[in-house]
Amino acid sequence: MDYEGADVIDNDCNDSSETQISTWRTLIELVKANPVLYKKNLKGYSKSEKDLIWANIGDLLTAPMTGIAVQKEFYRLRQKFGKERRKVMQTQARSGAGADHVQYKSDWILYNDLMFLVDYIQPRKTTSNY
């Protein structure tokens, strides 16, 4: 699933209005309350049922959105969280690292709100020619 503008949220999230941040937090809480939207191993839900959940979430937001727009917005937030999480994980001190090792700490305002996704976002296995 690749949405145009997925990288735009990088800029939007760091200097957004309180209203926008509040909307994102509401969206995150509503998605969190519907595990079928982020737990890929849950079976028994059709695409149409998930689409209906997304539409219902869109209706519940302060500024109502369509189901597709809400899904895209959450995708963008999830992508940003994944990038931030990857930075944090890649800078964790390795065994034997010196005391002067500096670990990246995300300053993204929604980082902690999305921590519930940690167990559900699996890094892809990569192959290298090296």
pLDDT tens digit at each of 130 positions of the chain: 444 444 445 555 555 799 999 999 999 999 999 999 998 888 878 889 999 999 999 999 999 999 999 999 999 999 999 999 988 888 876 666 555 556 778 899 999 999 999 988 876 666 766 6
Q: Are 120 and 32 in contact (CB under 8 A)?
A: no
pTM of the model: 0.77
Question: Whole-angstrom Cα distance, residue 92 to residue 88?
Answer: 7
Q: Are 74 and 33 in contact (CB under 8 A)?
A: no
